[in-house]
């Protein structure tokens, strides 16, 4: 049951991703880097009964500052962006209603600094997520969150809050706890506990390596076409990885990683398979998939990130 709860929290948090942390800095506004562009690709091969299959995922996001102000070390901003995620299945057959699934999001993030120590962060993310065979309002998902970020020192801050998500399987309200910690000049730790953590070591001014534990990679749900009865597909992966990051120039980084999916699931549900309540942990076992694949396996990922 604990694993199922972790799965569920990770799944919802994967749908809700803040495009910017609540930033508190002593940099002048001209040097702030609130805009970003990133792309990533992951490949997860596995074999079931001698048949080779794989899950491929492609993503990209662009975030732009609509406005920002910096006064007395208090930063206020409004960010808006677009994000795409694609899921591609190979070797799984017709049981999931297709092999290509897509989602398009428009994340909006607002921060209001109450003081140099405290900041409120709010985010709203509408998402269209489906196989795109018959696009309609039924393809829409909505997520929102509010967090309070507390800066304890120049090297440590944490965030607490709550996220609401309207998914194909119901409405969900969950807590969020975030940590950003510069342990030393070379070591850093950040994450959203307990579903995503990363510890990074600075090899040089341009090279970094580390370990990540991510229980929300691949998390997503997609509505299938009306021809299938408007079922929905749910994807979940729990992954540990070793990564290497290289910065050839300032504000631009390339990352590669290799890891293992300790759990990996594809589930297809009919549209009436839902969970009850805003905190529906007791309903996790009530849903019965009409098709399912569950298989552990290796995973490889690469990506780039540019801040401006």
- For the stretch 226-256, pLDDT in tens is 988 899 999 988 899 999 999 999 999 999 9
Phi and psi at 51, nearest 5°, equal -100, 125
The pLDDT score that the predictor gives to residue 8 is 57
**What is the rounded average pLDDT of the residues 100-109?**
96
Phi and psi at 116, nearest 5°, equal -60, -15
Map tokens 């940590």 to a residue: 179
The pLDDT score that the predictor gives to residue 278 is 72
Please check the confidence at residue 183 and state whether its pLDDT lies above 50.
yes
**Higher-pLDDT residue of 6, 87:** 87
Q: What is the pLDDT of residues 261-272, one digit of tens each?
A: 999 999 999 999
Please check the confidence at residue 5 and state whether its pLDDT lies above 90.
no
pLDDT above 70 covers what percent of the chain? 86
Assign residue 5 a region: left if phi > 0, alpha if psi is -120 to 50, beta otherwise? alpha
| Coil, helix or strand at residue 294 | strand
Whole-model pTM: value is 0.90
Quick count: other Cβ atoms within 10 Å of Cβ 187? Answer: 13
Measured in whole angstroms, the distance separating CA 196 from the mean position of its chain's CA atoms is 9
pLDDT above 90 covers what percent of the chain? 73
Q: What is the pLDDT of residues 116-145, one digit of tens each?
A: 999 999 999 999 999 999 999 999 999 999
The pLDDT score that the predictor gives to residue 22 is 42
Domains and CATH numbers, the chain: 2-307 (2.40.160)
| Coil, helix or strand at residue 91 | coil
The pLDDT score that the predictor gives to residue 20 is 42
The pLDDT score that the predictor gives to residue 119 is 97
Map tokens 């940099």 to a residue: 27
The pLDDT score that the predictor gives to residue 25 is 46
Both tokens of residue 90? Answer: 């190979």
Both tokens of residue 198? Answer: 């990363």
CA 156/CA 190 separation, integer angstroms: 10
Please check the confidence at residue 38 and state whether its pLDDT lies above 80.
yes
The pLDDT score that the predictor gives to residue 11 is 57
Band of residue 275 on the pLDDT scale cut at 50, 70, 90: confident
The pLDDT score that the predictor gives to residue 41 is 97
Quick count: other Cβ atoms within 10 Å of Cβ 42? Answer: 21
Please check the confidence at residue 65 and state whether its pLDDT lies above 90.
yes
- Range of weakest confidence among 26-35, 68-77, 156-165, 195-204: 26-35
The overall average pLDDT reported for the chain is: 88
The pLDDT score that the predictor gives to residue 284 is 64
The pLDDT score that the predictor gives to residue 30 is 53
Q: What is the pLDDT of residues 195-227, one digit of tens each?
A: 789 999 999 999 999 999 987 654 589 999 998
List strand residue ranges (DSSP E) for 168-251, in order.
170-182, 187-193, 196-202, 207-214, 220-223, 232-249
């Amino acid at each position: 049951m604990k694993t199922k709860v972790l799965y569920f929290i990770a799944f919802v948090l994967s749908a809700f991703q803040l495009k910017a942390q609540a930033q508190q800095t002593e940099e002048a506004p001209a040097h702030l880097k609130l805009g970003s562009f990133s792309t990533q690709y992951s490949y997860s091969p596995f074999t079931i009964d001698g048949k080779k299959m794989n899950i491929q995922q492609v993503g990209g996001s662009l975030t732009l500052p609509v406005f920002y102000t910096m006064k007395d070390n208090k930063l206020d901003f409004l960010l808006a962006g677009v994000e795409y995620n694609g899921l591609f299945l190979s070797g799984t057959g017709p049981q999931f209603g297709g092999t290509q699934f897509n989602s398009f999001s428009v994340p909006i993030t607002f921060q209001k600094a109450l003081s140099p120590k405290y900041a409120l962060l709010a985010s709203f993310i509408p998402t269209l997520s489906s196989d795109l065979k018959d696009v309609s309002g039924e393809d829409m998902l909505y997520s929102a969150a509010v967090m309070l970020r507390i800066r304890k020192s120049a090297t440590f801050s944490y965030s607490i809050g709550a996220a609401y998500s309207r998914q194909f399987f119901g409405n969900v309200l969950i807590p969020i706890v975030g940590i950003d910690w510069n342990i030393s000049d070379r070591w850093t730790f950040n994450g959203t506990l307990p579903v995503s953590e990363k510890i990074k070591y600075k090899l040089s001014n341009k090279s970094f390596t580390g370990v990540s534990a991510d229980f929300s990679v691949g998390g997503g749900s997609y509505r299938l076409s009306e021809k299938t009865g408007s079922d929905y597909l749910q994807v979940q992966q729990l992954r540990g990885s070793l990564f290497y990051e290289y910065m050839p120039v300032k504000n631009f980084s390339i990352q590669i990683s290799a890891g293992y999916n300790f759990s990996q699931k594809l589930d297809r549900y009919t549209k009436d398979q839902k969970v009850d309540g805003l905190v529906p942990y007791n309903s996790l076992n009530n849903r019965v998939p009409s098709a399912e694949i569950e298989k552990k396996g290796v995973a490889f990922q690469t990506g780039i990130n540019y801040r401006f």
